[in-house]
Amino acid sequence: MPTLARVISLARRVSAPSSHASGGGRRAEPPDPKTAKPAARSRQRANAPEALPSGVFLVALLASLSSCGYSLTAGAERMPPGAQRVFVRPFEARTPDAEAGALVASALRQELARRGADAGPEAPARIEGAVEDTSFSSLNVNPPTYRFGLTVTARMILNGTLLAEQRFGRSEDYLSGLDPLESEGRRRLALRRASEAIALDIIERFEQP
């Protein structure tokens, strides 16, 4: 199955005008329209390849993407019935990382917004949960490398009814900084990356197949 990048690249190559002749030869200069004979201009028009309308390439690209299983929209319709609009409550932080709950909730709202499903407290569906654990371990001494782990419990509730509840975990590796301040900055960046990865896992797990 061709990849999405390969399909787009092929469409660009086909639709882009050629800037040089193949074979490495010198490019032929186009005839001067003022001095070219009428018969020569007629032959040029007859032999010139007809440019395919750009709309045809667009239709072909869309058909190829569809046949390969790609979707141009990952919209709210993939959420459970009745949960096309979802409110994300602040996640409880049960660890010393007080910002972990806020980062997970923020990343969840961003994922829902990409699908057009992010909503306020009046939404019929909501996602809530807690950051159960954050961990820190050393992986290597030279160079100093560490692993940050994040564990989250999330549940989706629709009109007061529990639809799903799952536990999610992610880990991110990072190098130590040159000083404690830089090392802490890298640890917080690892926390942010883990939060974004878990948010994507949560939404994809709660979506319909």
Which residues of the chain are in CATH 3.30.160.150 domains? 76-206
H or E segment and range at residue 5: helix 4-15
74, 143, 166, 201 from 150: Cα distances, Å: 26, 23, 14, 13
Note the pLDDT of residue 12. 52
Mind listing the pLDDT tens digit for each residue in 143-178? 999 999 999 999 999 999 999 999 999 999 999 999
Cα–Cα dist 195/97, whole Å? 12
- Residue 42: helix, strand or coil by DSSP? helix
Q: How distant is the alpha carbon of residue 78 from its chain centre?
A: 16
Note the pLDDT of residue 196. 96
CATH homologous superfamily of 76-206: Lipoprotein like domain (3.30.160.150)
Note the pLDDT of residue 76. 74
Could you write out the DSSP letters of every residue in 44-106?
HHHHSPPPPPHHHHHHHHHHHHHHTT--S---GGGSPTT-SSEEEPPPEE-SS-TTHHHHHHH
Extract the residue ranges of the chain whose pLDDT is less than 70. 1-74, 209
Note the pLDDT of residue 32. 55
Q: What is the Cβ-side half-sphere exposure of residue 62, based on CA atoms within 13 angstroms?
A: 7
Note the pLDDT of residue 74. 56
The rounded radius of gyration (Å) of the Cα atoms in the chain is: 27
Beta bridge partners of 40: none
Pairing of strands 92-93, 125-140: parallel
Note the pLDDT of residue 77. 80
Note the pLDDT of residue 62. 43
